Structure 1
Amino acid sequence: MDIEYFKETFHLLPESNKPLYQQLYEYFKRLILNKTLQEGDQMLPEVQICEAMGLSRSTVRKTMDKLIEDGLILRRRGKGSYVTSHKLRRQINYLYNFSENMESIGVHPSSIVLECKVLKKVPDDVREILHLPPENQSVFLLKRIRLADGEPILCENTYIPYHLCPGIQKYSFRSQSLYSVLLERYLLEPYHATESIEAVFLCEKDKELLECPEDVPGFKISRVSYLESGEIFEYTTSLTRSDKCVFMMDLFKNPSPSTYPIQIKRNITI
């Protein structure tokens, strides 16, 4: 991308309600997502953008900072900014929904369903984690590959006590959101969750499912979700490639427990 192409294709709209930095951000984001700007391409120097459009340095810097925050570019000291490989960026200080997260970064979410069934014989660890009552020992299992623009991102196993969602195995989760079905059909909505993240080596089967081009490590993510009543209603384990996922958290000094109703547990093992 050269400065002439930029001047021909980017048009500021002073009358727009969107701030100037937001207009510039959306322009560059669109070029990156449609691969006009590809991984490894160097971004225009900030000073050239300022001079071409008559923008302040602070406006352009704010645009670049937002592109960096969203994982779209990387700033290299003394060398400029470059388009980076596309990674799933997870804010782990709020309850996470894969489909919504994908749509927020401009990619299309989809799923490959590997298993969708009711387990009568439940693994001991799953039964203990879900605190299944003696009279309701069946569990719904949904095993999926989660994709972003057709590229595998997560191998995900979800377990839900079947007495909370009878008949749920009849739904097609290739096209439907699990959380949407749980909310709309069973009035089940996550209120609080605990999550652990662990660095792991991927086995051959997992590498095949995630289409790993090389021997990269992965992250194992384990999550237990609770209803507002405190009842456990979901246990999910996920595997993801470390080169395709970045975890982010906002940190505060001495936060008040009452300020954060969602508790997050991070156990990172190298």
Structure 2
Amino acid sequence: MDKEYFRSTFHLSPNTTAPIYTQLAEYLKYQIQSGLLKPGDKMLGENDIVEILDISRTTVRLALNRLVEAGLIVRYRGRGSFIAEPKLRRSINYLYNFTENIRLSGAIPSSEINRCEVVSADEEMKEKLKLATVGQKVFVLERLRLADGEPLIIENTFIPYYLCTGIEKTNFSKASLYNVLKTQYGINVSHAEETIEAIIINKKNASILKCKNRMAGYSIERTSYLDSGYICEYTSSVTRGDRCVFKLDLYNSNNTRSGSIDFERKLSIS
């Protein structure tokens, strides 16, 4: 955005009670969300905005702070402000399905399959899936999940093989695992437990995710259950912290909608 474009397109409204910084923030937000300002573009400098509008630096900073809080811009000391890459928003209120939620976000989901096979469970996997004995067959699916070709999640899934015999023949580079489980095997996930932990992404995973080594990220462990109470899936994943936001809706225990808090998760691009 250059000075002339800003000068010709932004006008303070005298017919509103909204503060100047709110009007400025909403204008810049529209420029970003409409695609006129793209990720990586440099914002007009604070001094330039102050000069053009003849307003205080504090007012400009209040407007830019709103954009920072919304994840729309990032600031770099000595360099200025830049349009941020859109982040993934995971609402922790619905059973998470990567394929469906990325499509709803307007992006194209895809997967790179690193492993798709049946193995014998070791002691750790026996415990995770609550299997009867070590050596029981387990389906293993290791994938790199992408949105519009950009790596976002390393996802490793383990399912008791007696629930899904023959599933290893499926092409999961395009197919949704949950859709296959539901339509071909009649498996409907009743509920799931998820643990989300902030981590520093190690060198190996950073290379796979094409992000900086030792970047902040999330480690997510998920255990899914059938109505019967049996475990039908265990998934561990690593997600880039710079492209992911978790959202949790909380309700008062007296709210008629729910007497407790339900935790769910989904992905969408803001």
Q: TM-score, normalised by structure 2?
A: 0.68
Read off the aligned partner of 2:214 and give its amino acid letter: D
The 3 A distance-change label for structure 1 pair 237 and 133 is: same
Rounded to whole Å, the distance in 2 between the matches of 1:215 and 1:182 is: 35
1:37 equivalent in structure 2: 38
| Cα drift, residue 111 of structure 1 | 0.4
Give percent identity, aligned residues only.
Answer: 41
Q: Which moved more, 1:172-181 or 1:130-139?
A: 130-139
Task: Give the C-alpha shift of residue 116 in structure 1.
Answer: 0.1
Query: C-alpha separation between the residues in 2 aligned to 1:162 and 1:223?
Result: 18
Q: Which moved more, 1:177-186 or 1:83-92?
A: 83-92
Q: CA 1:145–1:260 in 2, change beyond 3 Å: closer, same or farther?
A: farther
**One-letter amino acid of the counterpart of residue 206, structure 1:** N
The residue that corresponds to 2:61 in the other structure is none
From the superposition, tell whether residues 137 and 144 of structure 1 become closer, same or farther in structure 2 (CA, over 3 Å).
Answer: same
Moved >4 Å (runs of 4+): 3-7, 27-30, 40-43, 255-258, 260-263
- 1:135 Cα deviation (Å)? 9.6
Counterparts in 2 of 1:64-75, with a 5 A limit?
A: 73=72
Task: Point out which structure has higher relative CO (alpha carbons under 8 A, 6+ apart).
Answer: 2
Q: Which residue of 2 aligns with 1:202?
A: 201
User: CA distance change for structure 1 residues 131 and 256 in 2, over 3 Å: closer, same or farther?
Assistant: farther
Contact 2:202 2:214 in 1 (8 A): no
Partner of residue 211, structure 1: 210
Number of residue equivalences: 218
| One-letter amino acid of the structure 2 residue matched with residue 225 of structure 1 | S
* Aligned counterparts of 1:149 and 1:181: Cα–Cα separation in 2: 22
C-alpha spacing 1:128/1:68, structure 2 compared with 1 (3 Å): same
The higher radius of gyration belongs to 2
Return the letter of the residue paired with 1:176. Answer: A
Match of 2:49 in 1: none
Note the residue ranges of structure 1 that are not aligned, 5 or more in a row.
Answer: 8-23, 44-64
CA contact (8 A) 2:91 2:264 kept: no
TM-score, normalised to structure 1's length?
A: 0.68
Question: Could you report, residue by residue, the CA deviation over 1:149-170 in whole angstroms, capped at 9, with x for unpaired residues?
Answer: 1111000000000000000000
SS at match of 1:259: coil
For the Cα contact (< 8 Å) 2:96–2:264, is it kept in 1? no
